[in-house]
Structure 1
Amino acid sequence: MILISPQRAEYLYWMGRYIQRAESMTRLVISLFDKILDEDFDDAKKVYSNLGITLTYDSSQAFLRQSVFDVEYASLLSVISAARENAILTRPNLSHRMFSRINALYLAYQKAKEERTVSLYWLESTLQELDAIWGNLELSLVESKEVPLIQLGKVIERMDLNIRIYDSMEAAVLDLEKLNSIAHKIRPNSKPIGLSSSQKQKLLHKINSVYGTLAYVTES
């Protein structure tokens, strides 16, 4: 059993989700930028519609600006801000190095927002920072009990976006074994999670309800 307060456990879980969301969406934005330039100018509008978001860009740079800074609740800046907020709330559970990396990434976004144009080179460089955050995860935490909670958020977010954006049941299934392994670390007597439905909304509900079935922990 992982002994940690329910509130703090949830913050760690959501920090993992937001960091993964930042990584996945950054890769998506870079890919869509290339498609806007070389293939289909409206492709990003179609993809973001799967997230319930309407984009109204009139140039590739306008798309970058919107997706990185301006889309309410869904911009990369807002996702990084949410990751940082959860990191602040779990500050005692994080090493100085890990917290500093998350905070530095947030400050880099704030600085970049002041520029007139968004640099694709800069955006690509943020992926290195996100990779470094994941790379230091197990080494930098004060205690290993936090790791599975953050990892759970990471894998659930990845599964959610693969289904939500790409309708990819196959990609979600590939993560299922890892999800069950992490769930077992959090709650050893938990039943294995299965994905039997092929209906998108049912799958999303099932995946996003996993944390709730494991949120039984109490203060140590």
Structure 2
Amino acid sequence: MEQLLTANVASNLYWFGRYLERIEAILLEVVDAFDKIIDTNKDSGKEIYKKLGIDLEYLDAKNFLNEAVFGNHHANLHNLINFAKENAIISRTNMDTEAFGSVVELTNLLKQSGLEIDCRFIDKVLSLISEIWGELTRKQHRQASDYFIRLGKLVEKVDFHLRLGRDKEFSLVVMEEIDKIVTILAPNSRFSPHDKNDSHEVIMNSINAKINKIIVGD
């Protein structure tokens, strides 16, 4: 892993991983809620977004898709993809060329979609995201840039999982992988282990302390 990164580049790689994972996680929840609104629970979308700190209003299942993806809130797709693209641009020289191209393709897809979407559009976005993850992980030899993107993905996975009130056992498994990467990037650092009885806030504060230590130490 012979690659030197500035703190700014490392931070942008990390946040690129977080935003890309956030987009994917939210869209998967949107598709699941869409089905439930049609079949079993018309308030399913409101319940999911409430856990994300958003009061989402919609008329029906189709309107839910538009409000969830393009509504006036901090988790709309325009904001998240633009943030991910900005992170990718800043760290472009340390990112896989094909992955960067797929990020550009993703933003162009969003521009072409207009404001009316359906599940086929969401499927296209999720497919492109899967391609990006594949392009970022197919290398035989990992560099520091790869680890920072991976860290972002894993940290977002834990944060999102806990925000939705899901079981902590899954999060603890993911955090073990986070700790392995932390040890690779900062072998001399020592951190306290996580506990399943810790709150969401305590767990995320612990994880953020690790990330800050690595990036500041960069």
SS in 1 for 2:42: coil
Instruction: Give the stretch that moved more between structures: 82-91 or 184-193.
Output: 184-193
Matches within 5 A, 1:103-122: 103-112=104-113, 114-115=114-115, 117-122=116-121
Q: 1:202 to 1:192 in 2, by over 3 A?
A: closer
CA RMSD, Structure 1 to Structure 2 (Å): 2.1
**Aligned length, in residue pairs:** 216
Q: Is the Cα contact below 8 Å between 2:19 and 2:80 reproduced in 1? A: yes
Matched residue, 2:143: 144
| Pairwise CA distance, 1:139 | 4.2
Q: Give the equivalent residue in structure 2 for 1:205.
A: 205
Q: For residues 212 and 143 of structure 1, do their structure 2 counterparts lie closer, same or farther at Cα, with a shift above 3 Å needed? A: same
Greater mean deviation of Cα atoms: 7-16 or 66-75: 66-75
CA contact (8 A) 1:33 1:64 kept: yes
Tell me the TM-score normalized by structure 1. 0.90
SS at match of 1:56: coil
Unaligned segments of structure 2, at least 5 residues: none
> Quick one: percent identity of the two aligned structures?
28
Distance 2:47 2:63 in 1: 16
**Equivalence for 1:73:** 74
For residues 36-94 of structure 1, what are the alpha-carbon distances to aligned partners after superposition, in whole Å with 9 as ceiling and x for unaligned? 11111011111211111010111111110011112322112321111111001111112
- What is the match of residue 216 of structure 1? 216
Residue ranges of structure 1 left out of the alignment (5+ in a row): none
Asked if the contact 1:167/1:200 (under 8 Å) is kept, the reply is: no
**2:32 partner letter:** S
CA separation of 1:140/1:83 partners in 2, compared to 1, >3 Å: closer, same or farther? farther
Distance (Å, rounded) in 1 between the aligned partners of 2:96 and 2:48: 37
Give the counterpart letter for 1:171 in structure 2: F
- Counterpart of 1:188, as a letter, is P
SS in 2 for 1:216: helix
Alignment match, 1:61: 62
Structure 1 counterpart SS, 2:184: helix
1:158 aligns with 2:182: no
Q: Is the counterpart of residue 125 in structure 1 residue 161 in structure 2?
A: no
Cα deviation, 1:106-149, whole Å, max 9, x if unaligned, reads 1101111x15x312112112211111111110447998220001
Deviations 1:160-214 (A, max 9, x none): 0000113421121121221111111211122255222432322232233331122
